[in-house]
């Protein structure tokens, strides 16, 4: 079934073991000044949020395709929370990570039942594809960006604490 193959690509994202706490980076103070890693951190978090939001949007459409309305509604609320830059970055990162993880498990469980999709379900399924691809592309870009961030941190003398914070990454 095509939906099972599509779900495998979603599950690939799940296996990328990102620690949400490691993503909220503390910029170390060096000689009374913050290290100049804000640009690298900004690029990393930008890619993470864009990818996560795309992935969550795909999950939202898959929930609708599978007629899992409560999960679709919860996902839409999480998308709104993650998009709201007034919320703390760490909470947004954690919410994105947790929502995507929980959603993937729920979708995987629903697909085991081999339910046939209605016409409306097939439309939602088709709507999910571009978001899934965009999310997957972002996740592929994320590891090199994390390496770039790590190199930037290491290049700053005395940035050992920030390097340790990235260890889980």
CA distances from 23 to 44, 94, 123, 167 (A): 9, 9, 35, 10
Q: What is the pLDDT of residue 142?
A: 84
The pLDDT of residue 96 = 93
pLDDT score recorded for residue 108: 86
Token pair belonging to 73: 């509604």
Q: Is the pLDDT higher at 167 or at 59?
A: 59
- pLDDT, one tens digit per residue, over 108-152 is 888 877 677 888 988 988 999 899 899 889 888 888 888 887 887
The larger pLDDT score, comparing residue 155 to residue 52, is at 52
Q: How crowded is residue 107: how many other Cβ atoms within 10 Å of its Cβ? A: 22
Tell me: pLDDT of 57 over 60: yes
As a whole number of angstroms, the distance between CA 96 and CA 75 comes to 10
34 φ, ψ (degrees, to nearest 5): -75, 140
Q: What pLDDT is attached to residue 116?
A: 78
E strand or H helix at 93, and its extent? helix 89-112
- Residue 42's pLDDT is what? 83
Given a cut of 90, whether residue 87 has pLDDT beyond it is: yes
The partner residues of 101 in beta bridges, in order of sequence, read: none
Computed over every residue of the chain, the mean pLDDT equals: 76
- 3-class SS at 113? coil
Helical (H) or strand (E) element with 80: helix 69-83
């Amino acid at each position: 079934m095509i939906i099972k193959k599509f779900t495998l690509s979603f599950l690939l994202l799940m296996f990328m073991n990102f620690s949400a706490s490691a993503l909220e980076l503390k910029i170390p103070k060096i000689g009374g000044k913050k290290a100049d890693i804000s640009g690298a951190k900004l690029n990393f978090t930008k890619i993470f949020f864009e990818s996560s939001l795309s992935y969550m949007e795909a999950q939202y459409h898959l929930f609708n395709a599978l007629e899992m309305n409560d999960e679709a509604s919860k996902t839409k609320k999480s998308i709104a929370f993650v998009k709201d830059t007034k919320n703390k970055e760490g909470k947004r990162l954690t919410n994105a990570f947790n929502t995507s993880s929980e959603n993937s498990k729920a979708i995987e469980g629903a697909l085991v039942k081999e339910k046939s999709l209605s016409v409306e379900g097939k439309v939602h399924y088709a709507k999910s594809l571009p978001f899934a691809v965009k999310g997957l592309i972002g996740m592929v870009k994320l590891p090199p960006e994390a390496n770039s961030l790590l190199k930037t941190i290491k290049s700053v003398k005395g940035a050992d604490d920030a390097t340790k914070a990235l260890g889980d990454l």
